[in-house]
Amino acid sequence: MALSFDHWRFIGGFTLYSFAARSAAETIRLGEALGSLLQPGDLIALDGDLGAGKTCLAGGIGRGLQVKERVKSPSFTLVNEYQGQLPLYHMDVYRLDNPSEVNDLGFDEYFYGAGAVLVEWAQKILDFLPEQRLDIIIDKQQDDENARDIKLIPHGSRYEHLVRELIAHVHAGD
Ligand SMILES: Nc1ncnc2c1ncn2[C@@H]1O[C@H](COP(=O)(O)OP(=O)(O)OP(=O)(O)O)[C@@H](O)[C@H]1O
Ligand SMILES: [Mg+2]
């Protein structure tokens, strides 16, 4: 079965859109579709347990943005920069000791810059993230080690629009 949009529901004043990915390849496909829709200044906050598939999704986003290199985990460098149809800034804040370090690291320049930004373990720096963003939470499924529930929560009209476009893409199978 192919990647599918599963359902949506209201949660705490926000709308949550849930996708079912049954393999890493399907997670990559969702990332590719999302990457192809990104615009300058877009910010995606990625969360999920160790090994949930955050970097896997980021790899798909890189492909969708036509980044030639393979997008890898930036754990040791904190930020990797790529050039695709837009600049892509890929951060992983797992190893950040103190959230306020994002100020010293100049993350604001990325957050409000001309590229698209992905942040892995974004909840760690929640207070420092722009309010307008797309939250993505990846959950492993108990019954199948290759299945993931990928939840998207848009904050702001730009991201509501983006998610609706994404659903249309996934429906169309591209
Ligand atoms: N449906 C799926 N989606 C994503 N990854 C999957 C899926 N099924 C299996 N996997 C596997 O799970 C692993 C996910 O690893 P990945 O590095 O993307 O996780 P992560 O969330 O970035 O972890 P970390 O917190 O360590 O950075 C990969 O080995 C991938 O092949
Ligand atoms: Mg990762």
Structural domain boundaries of the chain? Answer: 4-143+159-172
Query: Closest residue (by CA) to atom 7 of ligand 1?
Result: 24
User: Nearest to residue 55, comparing CAs of 72, 38, 43?
Assistant: 72
Mean of pLDDT values over 151-170: 96
Mean of pLDDT values over 45-73: 96
Q: What is the reported pLDDT for 95? A: 87
How many angstroms separate the CA atoms of 49 and 125, rounded? 16
- Each residue of 9-39: pLDDT tens digit? 888 888 999 999 999 999 999 999 999 999 9
Please report, rounded to a whole number, the percentage of residues in the chain having pLDDT higher than 70. 97
- Each residue of 94-144: pLDDT tens digit? 988 888 888 888 888 999 999 999 999 999 999 999 999 999 999 999 999
55 Cα to the center of ligand 1, angstroms: 7
As for ligand 1, residues whose beta carbon falls within 6 Å of it are 21, 23-24, 26-27, 48, 50-56, 73, 120, 146, 148
**With a threshold of 0.85, does the pTM exceed it?**
yes
Q: Which amino acid, 58? A: A
CATH superfamily of 4-143+159-172: P-loop containing nucleotide triphosphate hydrolases (3.40.50.300)
